[in-house]
Structure 1
Amino acid sequence: MRKIDLLQQAGERLFQAGIEEAAFEARLLLCWACGWTRMELMQHDGIPAEGVDRFQRAIQRRSQREPVAFITGEQGFWTLDFHVSPETLIPRGDSETLLEALLDHKPDRQSVRSILDLGTGTGCLLLSALSEYPRAWGLGVDIAPAAAALARRNAGRNGLSDRVAFMAGDWAAAVGGRFDVVLSNPPYIEHADMAHLMPDVAAYEPHRALDGGDDGLVAYRILCRSLPHLLMPNGCAVLELGMGQADAVTELAEAEGLAVLECRKDLGGVERALVLAFS
């Protein structure tokens, strides 16, 4: 089958399944199925039989709204590439806002020596931060052992295994000591809103990493109580926020003696990263 016909059929199938960027995702999955770059895709007309079979299986999975990252098994984030699995959230570009804020508040790349990531998932935040601070070591904590194991694989993939450790545990309750930087992308979706998530998320990504309780703030209460005991003097914490949560989390933080240094918006204009320190 010709490439153009294969892509047209796949794009129509994905469009009918409700995929907004159907044509783009069809090309992306064909590149993955054949092991091609986008440039190589443009240079080929015929498709190897094994590539066709792999592509059609991928289109079948995507038409059932399985995320592309779970089909390919990987996702880019910041400047690194990460293995992903249904045990963790897929790294998203909005979360890169936390790293941008951190780099602005800790511009001296030699000054940060220790970084803690609570709810580490794939390890994308922690490992990306370590790639920017060459003298730092890191600890990532996740309640799911499979997530911690995946993060260890990602450390190896990105050449950072000797500067990081991952453990399964109940967040800050499992951690002793203080850190120059604390990062966290906690569960923050209100429980009632879980039923309205896109099917790509609701059916495939782990609910424990999404559900923030009745008001979406359960994890922030724990974090704000813990941060005064986890931060070094002159340290800072950067927390990811859900839409419309900046004021509520600011109030929780200030009640625990923390100062809000910045609330940074992502590219979509959502207040996404809250930077905290001792007041």
Structure 2
Amino acid sequence: MTLDKSIEAVLKRASLVLSESGSESPSLDAAVLLCHVLEKPRSYLLTWPEKALTPEEEQQFETLLTRRIAGEPVAYILGEREFWSLPLNVAPSTLIPRPDTERLVELALDKALAHAGDILDLGTGTGAIALALASELNSRSVMGVDYQVEAVELARSNATKLNISNCQFAQGSWFEPIDLVHKFSVIVSNPPYIDENDPHLSQGDVRFEPSSALVADNNGLADIETITAQAPNYLQVGGWLLFEHGFEQGQAVRDILASNGFCHVATEQDYAGNDRVTLGQWNP
């Protein structure tokens, strides 16, 4: 029996296989992959459900589908992920930008708008946070730092792709490439914060992401402790330090900030109502 090669039938079969493989969004995954193959928007799939795939399109789609069935994240398969409405190139050397992190951008913007000065993003990865802030604050200087050379190169390529000129990137460990005379009004970071024994590390998309960008010692808090201890040397008086962290780490991160002399320490929730961002002001 010849299989129906129409868009509708292909999507239905792909969604079923992806669901059986454990995808949390099988229909969406199938649609996004097929749109990539067809080089069409999702509206095309709804408008022309009866249109048959060519043998070449079918082969390309099957190749991508096989990778997704094996668990590889869609963002890595396509090499792109949207964040803050910015289409970012992504690669296996960096974390995939996630919607929850947009909450960190919102809070950083709020503090930056109330406090003039340069902005620093530590552990920038794809450059997602730094570029989102730079795109909103085009008269301000934003810097992103990452330890991985590949990440810095990727972030720079994203800045060029998006034509964002007020954002620069440097390679090094946390504050290492920053001159001590350079003071920032806002320092923001989405550092590694997962404990090495966390079972989530062996599940879903995280399996394919670099562990160096995910895992930290001391129950996931070691990098947050390091950044917090050094941040006062690089913050303006009245400047703010903001972290994204795990949903169960709010109290621990508040304690770290408070013990290092930060005031007005608070934890904010993400869109799902989970503790996600903790911030504090440096005002000795």
| Amino acid corresponding to residue 90 of structure 1 in structure 2 | I
Contact 2:112 2:186 (8 Å CA) reproduced? no
Match of 2:40 among 36, 39, 55: 36
SS at match of 2:92: coil
Alignment partners' CA distance in 1, 2:173 and 2:63: 38
Alignment partners' CA distance in 2, 1:209 and 1:256: 24
Shift in alpha-carbon separation, 1:79–1:262, aligned structure 2, 3 A: farther
Match of 2:249 among 233, 245, 248: 245
Residue in 2 that maps onto 1:57 = 63
Alignment partners' CA distance in 1, 2:54 and 2:263: 59
Residue in 2 that maps onto 1:169 = 172
| Amino acid corresponding to residue 104 of structure 1 in structure 2 | D
Identity, % of aligned pairs?
A: 33
Match of 1:275 among 259, 267, 279: 279
Contact 2:142 2:168 (8 Å CA) reproduced? yes
TM-score, normalised to structure 2's length? 0.92
Distance apart, 1:261 and its partner CA: 4.2
Query: For 1:146-165, what per-residue CA distance to the aligned partner results, in whole angstroms no more than 9, with x for missing partners?
Result: 000000011011111x3222
Contact 1:260 1:274 (8 Å CA) reproduced? no
Contact 2:257 2:265 (8 Å CA) reproduced? no
Contact 1:194 1:211 (8 Å CA) reproduced? no
Does 2:26 match 1:22? yes
Does 2:9 match 1:5? yes
Residue in 2 that maps onto 1:72 = 78
Alignment partners' CA distance in 2, 1:275 and 1:135: 24
Query: For 1:164-210, what per-residue CA distance to the aligned partner results, in whole angstroms no more than 9, with x for missing partners?
Result: 221221111232221111110000001111565414212x1000000
Residue in 2 that maps onto 1:233 = 237
Contact 1:260 1:276 (8 Å CA) reproduced? yes
| Amino acid corresponding to residue 272 of structure 2 in structure 1 | G
Alignment partners' CA distance in 1, 2:248 and 2:200: 19
Aligned length: 275
| Amino acid corresponding to residue 186 of structure 1 in structure 2 | P
Alignment partners' CA distance in 1, 2:10 and 2:31: 10
Q: Which runs of 5+ in 1 are unaligned?
A: none
Alignment partners' CA distance in 1, 2:159 and 2:199: 31
Alignment partners' CA distance in 2, 1:199 and 1:10: 18
Residue in 2 that maps onto 1:180 = 185
Alignment partners' CA distance in 2, 1:47 and 1:188: 44
Contact 2:254 2:266 (8 Å CA) reproduced? no
Contact 2:228 2:257 (8 Å CA) reproduced? yes
Distance apart, 1:243 and its partner CA: 1.5
Residue in 2 that maps onto 1:207 = 211
SS at match of 1:172: coil
RMSD over aligned Cα atoms: 1.5
Contact 2:245 2:276 (8 Å CA) reproduced? yes
Contact 2:190 2:243 (8 Å CA) reproduced? yes
| Amino acid corresponding to residue 80 of structure 1 in structure 2 | L
Shift in alpha-carbon separation, 1:101–1:15, aligned structure 2, 3 A: same
Shift in alpha-carbon separation, 1:264–1:255, aligned structure 2, 3 A: same
Shift in alpha-carbon separation, 1:112–1:80, aligned structure 2, 3 A: farther
Contact 1:184 1:238 (8 Å CA) reproduced? yes
TM-score, normalised to structure 1's length? 0.94
Shift in alpha-carbon separation, 1:189–1:125, aligned structure 2, 3 A: same
Shift in alpha-carbon separation, 1:218–1:194, aligned structure 2, 3 A: farther
